Chains A and B, each alone.
Chain A
Amino acid sequence: MAKYLLLKHYRGAPAARNDVMMDQWTPEEISAHIQYMNDFADRRREAGELVAEQALAPTGLWVQYAGEGRPPVTDGPFAETKDLIAGFMIIDVDTPERAVELAGELSAAPGKNGEPLHEWLEVRPLYGEPPLVQD
């Protein structure tokens, strides 16, 4: 088994095929999208593949150490050009192919007009422990 992080972006990813802001969808389309995402997470949980999932707020700021005895320097809100993560899911699966397959399924979540978003998701392997037997 190996763990993978699936990352969803508010911005910074290549544009989705069905790229329409959510507030331009109908309320029913929004509900269908949320239902799809919840069902996907439930299926991963039932399959024993879900480790964690979390949505992130679009707000935030940069923070940096400013030296001894000084409060940290902050810079925010984020510039419009900053890559912005919307949420993540960590899955634990047998093969990299399975991770890709699941990311593909997640990217098919319905958007405007109920059509798949075809959004680009980032798939990142998590570092694991070195194997016990190396040779």
Chain B
Amino acid sequence: MGTTPFDPAVVRSLAPDVLAILVRRGAGFAAGEDAVQEALVEAWRTWPDDPPRDPKAWLVTVAWRRLVDATRSEVSRREREERVDARPAPGPAASTDDSLQLYFLCAHPSLTPSSAAALTLRAVGGLTTRQIAEAYLVPEATMAQRISRAKRTVSEQRLDRPGDVATVLRTLYLVFNEGYSGDLDLASEAIRMTRQLAAAVDHPEISGLLALMLLHHARRDARTAPDGSLVPLAEQDRTQWDTAAITEGVAILQLALSRDRLGEFQAQAAIAALHADARAFTATDWVQVVEWYDELVRLTQNPVAQLNRVVALAQADGARAGLAALAELDDSLPRFSAVAAHLHEMDGDLALAARLYAEAATKATSTAERDHLVRQAARLNAATR
């Protein structure tokens, strides 16, 4: 019969193409996106029992019908008010460029980062508002409002203007970094969308971001203990790392680096690759890690990168070198106290390190991080008693 078994990832991956087809046929972005969303919700409801033979054609048909219904009711609501696109003529199928414009539109600089992330997850990621709301732990009505405001903002933008890859990458990175708080795994969704983007556009930084995501995702299972507590890189069981993801990430990164157009995501991925490559924390090539941090700091001037560079420097050249470099940085940086505590512990001043860990705990931004830092303080206090 040639029917397709229900696969949520497939449903989601079709969303941007379907929307692009609707837009190409003359639908406005906002109305088209609503229609695709309704078609997706319908697909989630009916496909598990009744999968279509051609999922994309099914989604286009249902979305288009919804669009026409919505347009009709809008027309009747407004009585005789004229609407230009009440009956858009069917046009050609969407091209890769059309889908690509959606990435740019959803990450448009006129949007706030959180709005861009939410809109990208819906229009490009093919997720329902409810799924996005659950992932960000906000009420569904709040997320619906955030998305509809974002759509209002971007619907004034023209869809055919070339976009900026950097804003798209920042948005995808933001989604990835949000991690996995709810049922929906935002990190996996971000990887899926970045993969789709990388398949459509040949750009070393897109590859760099994809490699970075894969390399970090590979360590995911090792990053938390069974009781939910954080396991720092130095203590992770490296046999738990996903070697297939590492191999893929490294291969993508090498190809990107060979293009000789370095960017921040490639530099970050290179650092992650060096960690992935080491059999043990002590076997890490810290000198190379520091060199890549130098590149990253040069590219971004990012103070967080500077702080991470200090940690690597301490491993390469000793705690004193790290402390000297740390003294150059702004002590109000997030995680400054935690890094200071770590370096003072390396330097043998356990009492000071314990005080700094306790101070760092009060500045933590998550309970997992706070609990980890309190445990570090407790460990050193117990050792010095």
Contacts and interface: CB of A to CB of B under 8 A. Distances in A.
A38 B227 CA distance: 10
Nearest to A24: B381
A58 interface: yes
A58 to B, nearest CB: 5
Interface stretch (B55-63, B248-256, B360-368): B360-368
A25 B228 contact: no
A31 B358 contact: no
A7 interface: no
A16 interface: no
Given A57-B364, A57-B365, A59-B362, A23 B374 contact: yes
Contacts of B367: 55
Interface of A: 22-27, 29-31, 34-35, 38, 55, 57-59
Contacts of A38: 228
Interface in B322-370: 354, 357-358, 361-365, 367, 370
B378 interface: yes
A27 B379 CA distance: 6
A26 B375 CA distance: 8
13 contacts: A22-B374, A23-B354, A23-B357, A23-B358, A23-B374, A23-B381, A24-B378, A27-B382, A30-B371, A30-B375, A34-B229, A38-B228, A57-B364
Interface residues of B, number: 21
Given A34-B227, A58-B362, 13 more contacts: A22-B378, A23-B374, A23-B381, A24-B378, A25-B378, A26-B378, A26-B382, A30-B374, A31-B229, A55-B367, A57-B362, A57-B363, A59-B362
A57 B366 CA distance: 8
B378 A30 contact: yes
A31 B379 CA distance: 12
B377 interface: yes
B136 to A, nearest CB: 15
Contacts of B362: 57-59
A35 B227 CA distance: 8
Interface in B214-243: 227-229
A16 to B, nearest CB: 17
A66 B112 CA distance: 26
Contacts, number: 42
Contacts of A30: 371, 374-375, 378
A25 B378 CA distance: 6
Interface string B29-63: 00000000000000000000000000000000000
Contacts of B377: 23
B327 to A, nearest CB: 24
Contacts of B375: 27, 30-31
B202 to A, nearest CB: 44
Nearest to A35: B227
A58 B374 CA distance: 13
Interface in B111-163: none
Contact of A27 (B228, B358, B378): B378
Nearest to A22: B374
B177 to A, nearest CB: 19
A57 B334 CA distance: 14
Contacts of A23: 354, 357-358, 361, 374, 377-378, 381
Nearest to B367: A55
Contacts of B227: 31, 34-35
Nearest to A33: B371
